[in-house]
């Protein structure tokens, strides 16, 4: 009986040692992970008014670009225009999702995709390439070659506005992630402008 009790105690002690060892290992691993996470959180928390204006203004700007991309289906079969529209949606919708997350992390109001509501377009002005409602309505009435040329012309102007906004963020913003997005926007949209100008001939 005594031997059985001692054996049981040894087993319990061994189990406890394993648990403690496991905790020690987990603690060290968690500490390293926690350090990396803390660094990422600090980077996200680093923002100023320029960052908020950029994200709050770029969100509806992207939303209008996606809206224009959605118009392509049913209005033209031009392979170049269809490809431009697909690329714009693929790039800008994920960026909109990231911008929503940033505003939440910064304790800011949720962005709005209502491009007719200028109160939600923080940092926006008439030089930012946004298309007025009447011009968007006129575009929907076109088809074929007429649609292609007007869509490309409008999207070039829209992209130019986005590049101006991104350059303002690069000059005045401080959030690393927002500044990286601004850099990506400048690079991608300058290339798309050149391609769209070539498509216009």
Q: Are residues 26 and 66 in the same domain?
A: no
* CB-based contacts of 179-187 (< 8 A; 24+ apart in sequence): 181/95, 181/98, 181/99, 182/54, 185/58, 185/95
pLDDT beneath 70, residues of the chain: 1-44, 114-127
Give the count of domains, the chain. 2
Mean pLDDT taken over the chain = 82
Is 39 in the same domain as 51? no
* pTM for this model (two decimals): 0.75
Verify that 86 and 5 share a domain, yes or no.
no
Are 58 and 118 members of one domain?
yes
Residues 66, 30 share a domain: no
Q: Kindly state whether residues 95 and 27 are assigned to the same domain.
A: no
Q: What is the CATH number of the domain that holds 124?
A: 1.20.1260.10
Question: pLDDT per residue over 151-182, tens digit each?
Answer: 999 999 999 999 999 999 999 999 999 999 99
* Domain region containing 181: 46-200
């Amino acid at each position: 009986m005594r031997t059985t009790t001692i054996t049981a105690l040894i087993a319990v002690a061994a189990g406890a040692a394993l648990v403690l060892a496991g905790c020690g290992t987990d603690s060290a691993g968690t500490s390293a992970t926690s350090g990396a996470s803390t660094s990422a959180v600090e980077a996200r928390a680093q923002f100023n008014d320029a960052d908020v204006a950029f994200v709050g203004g770029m969100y509806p700007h992207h939303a209008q670009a996606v809206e224009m991309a959605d118009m392509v289906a049913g209005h033209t079969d031009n392979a170049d225009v269809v490809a431009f529209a697909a690329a714009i949606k693929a790039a800008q919708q994920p960026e909109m999702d990231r911008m929503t997350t940033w505003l939440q992390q910064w304790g800011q109001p949720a962005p709005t995709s209502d491009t007719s509501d200028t109160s939600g377009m923080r940092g926006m002005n008439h030089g930012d390439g946004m298309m007025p409602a009447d011009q968007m309505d006129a575009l929907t009435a076109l088809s074929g070659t007429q649609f292609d040329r007007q869509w490309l012309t409008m999207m070039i102007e829209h992209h130019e506005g986005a590049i101006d906004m991104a350059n303002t963020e690069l000059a005045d913003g401080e959030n690393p992630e927002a500044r990286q997005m601004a850099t990506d926007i400048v690079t991608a949209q300058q290339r798309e402008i050149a391609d769209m100008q070539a498509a216009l001939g």
